[in-house]
Amino acid sequence: MSNTSSPIERTLILVKPDGVRRGLVGEVISRIESKGYNVAALRLLTADKDLLATHYAEHRGEAFYEPLIEFMSSGPIVAMIAEGQRVIEGFRSLAGATDPTLALPGSIRGDLARNQGTKVVQNIVHGSDSVESAQREIKIFFPNL
Ligand code: IDP
Ligand code: MG
């Protein structure tokens, strides 16, 4: 085991529009809290395309980029900051693989999402993938925190 004495981290979690539409906000929060992480901030918003372009800048140029921005701006999302030791990788583990068909049962995506033939994969949640991404993404959704 590595990093057993690592400092408390913060990560940016989004419940995407598919998750909000399907009434899965409570289910996602429940899994985060049941794991023992602390929800430190939470807001419901409909993200505009400029905000999403900043958030997803690393994916510009990908075939799924435009569909991703359209999808993510298609309805309300819930943005959260979760805190805890190794929460960044811990939430990625709770979320499961990007491809919901491959995401393991037991994970949010593995239990609650599937491929639907859309240009962008709809997979319920986003979670930051590194300390640097988390700091950058938290500033986008929670500029005061
Ligand atoms: P992640 O959300 O697991 O970190 P990323 O590679 O950062 O995955 O991609 C961001 C989002 O873009 C994914 O969650 C998914 O919704 C979508 N996406 C990523 N790769 C593909 C793809 O190859 N086809 C369709 N949609 C994709
Ligand atoms: Mg990502």
For 65-114, how does the pLDDT look when each residue is reduced to its tens digit (9 = 90+)? 999 999 999 999 999 999 999 999 999 999 999 999 999 999 999 999 99
Distance 119 CA to ligand 2 centre (A): 16
- Does the beta carbon of 98 sit less than 6 angstroms from any atom of ligand 1? yes
Question: Tell me, what's the pLDDT at 3?
Answer: 63
Quote the crossing angle between the two packed helices 87-95 and 25-35, to the nearest 10°.
Answer: 130
Joined tokens for residue 82: 């979760």
Question: Tell me, what's the pLDDT at 34?
Answer: 98
Question: Tell me, what's the pLDDT at 4?
Answer: 67
126 is a catalytic site residue: yes
Question: Tell me, what's the pLDDT at 5?
Answer: 78
Whether 17 shows a pLDDT value over 90: the answer reads: yes
98: Cα separation from own chain's centroid: 10
CATH of 8-87+126-141, one of 3.40.190.10, 3.30.70.141, 2.60.40.1190, 3.90.650.10: 3.30.70.141
CA dihedral of 93, 18, 12, 107, whole degrees rounded to 10? -10
- Which of 78, 112, 126, 128 is an active site residue? 126
Q: What is the CA radius of gyration of the chain?
A: 14
Pairing status of strand 38-45 against strand 77-85 = antiparallel
